[in-house]
Amino acid sequence: MTGFIFDRVAIIGFGLIGSSLARAVKASGTARTIVACDSSTAARATIARLGLADTVTDDPAVAVDGADLVVLATPLGAYAEIARRIAPALAHGAIVSDVGSVKGPVTRDLPPLLPSHVRLVPGHPVAGTENSGPESGFETLFKGRWCILTPLPGTDPEAVRKVSELWQACGSLIEIMEPEHHDKVLAITSHLPHLIAYTIVGTAANLEEDAQSEVIKFSASGFRDFTRIAASDPTMWRDVFLNNREAVLEMLQRFTEDLTALQRAIRRGEGDTLFDLFSRTRDIRRRIIDAHQA
Interface positions, 146-205, toward a second copy (CB under 8 A): 146, 148, 175, 185-186, 188-205
- Of 158 and 258, the one with the shorter C-beta distance to a second copy is 258
Looking at beta carbons only, is 27 or 249 nearer to a second copy? 249
Binding residue for a second copy (CB under 8 A) from 54, 58, 241, 250?
241
Q: Give one DSSP letter per residue of 90-159, joined into a string.
A: PPTT-EEEE--S--HHHHHHSGGGS-TTSEEE-EEE----S--SGGG--TTTTTT-EEEE-PPTT--HHH
C-alpha atoms less than 13 angstroms from C-alpha of 35 in its C-beta half-sphere: 23
Whole-number minimum distance, CB 219 to a second copy, in Å?
A: 5
Q: Where in 61-90 is the site for a second copy (CB under 8 A)?
A: 77
Residues that contact a second copy, how many (by CB under 8 A) = 93
Task: Using CB under 8 A, pick the residue from 2, 41, 116, 281 that binds a second copy.
Answer: 281
DSSP codes of every residue in 35-104: EEE-S-HHHHHHHHHHT--SEEES-HHHHHTT-SEEEE-S-GGGHHHHHHHHGGGPPTT-EEEE--S--H
**Contact code string over 13-32 relative to a second copy, x by CB under 8 A:** --------------------
Q: Which residues 208-227 are close enough to bind a second copy by CB under 8 A?
A: 211-212, 214-227
| Main-chain dihedrals φ then ψ at residue 191, nearest 5 degrees | -70, -45
Decide whether 62 or 265 has the Cβ nearer to a second copy.
265
Q: Closer to a second copy by CB, 116 or 221: give it.
A: 221
Buried b vs exposed e over 171-181: b needs ≥16 C-beta within 10 Å? bbebeebebee
Using CB under 8 A as the binding rule, whether residue 249 contacts a second copy is answered as yes
Stretch that binds a second copy, among 20-28, 50-58, 91-99, 258-266 (CB under 8 A): 258-266
Q: Is 282 an interacting residue with respect to a second copy (CB under 8 A)?
A: yes
258 binds a second copy (CB under 8 A): yes
For residue 142, which of 120, 158, 166, 160 has the smallest C-alpha distance? Answer: 166
d(CA 192, CA 206): 21
Q: Rule CB under 8 A: which of 92-151 touch a second copy?
A: 101, 126-128, 130, 145-146, 148
